[in-house]
Amino acid sequence: MQDNTKTVQFGEHITIDGYGGDPKILDNKAIVSSVLSDLPNKLGMKTLSEPMVISAPDNEIKDPGGWSGFVIVAESHIAIHTFPKRRFVSADVYTCRNGTDVEKIVAYFIETFKLSDVETHFIKRGTRYPVENLV
């Protein structure tokens, strides 16, 4: 039996790994919180929660500690993890919208955290998402 369900792409997920960042900025809870408040506005997203930022302690393996934060938006979420002692930041911007300006987002992270290098991935999510309700 053939499945005739019409599908669309559900959304887009951008991952950003930033290197060579300013350790003082990466170790600043207020700046991480500000990014989580400011970026959704810059992208035209609607926040559903206040940003949450918590201190992530050294796990004595490979994570020397930093700040982890996220904000839930109507379109999905944004998450940030900083590692000041490694001058590294890892971030996810996930949205159910299509046509995300990846260059704008990456430039924002480069400028904010003073990154010298970035590694990014762009992932199409839900490529077989049904156009209509199935039940």
| Structural domain boundaries in the chain | 7-130
From 68, 96, 116, 121, the catalytic residue: 96
Decide which of 3.40.1710.10, 3.40.50.740, 3.60.90.10, 3.40.50.620 is the CATH code for 7-130.
3.60.90.10
In the residue annotation, 37 being an active-site residue is answered as no
How wide is the angle at C-alpha 65 spanned by C-alphas 80 and 62, nearest 5°?
Answer: 100
Which segments of the chain are extended strands (E)? Answer: 7-8, 11-19, 52-56, 66-73, 76-83, 88-95, 117-125, 129-130
Determine what percent of the chain is predicted with pLDDT higher than 90: 77
In the residue annotation, 13 being an active-site residue is answered as no
Q: What pLDDT was estimated at residue 2?
A: 56
**Mean pLDDT along residues 74-92:** 97
The structure's pTM equals 0.90
Residue 90: is its pLDDT beyond 90? Answer: yes
Terminal Cα-to-Cα distance of the chain (whole angstroms): 19
From 13, 68, 76, 77, the catalytic residue: 76
In the residue annotation, 90 being an active-site residue is answered as no
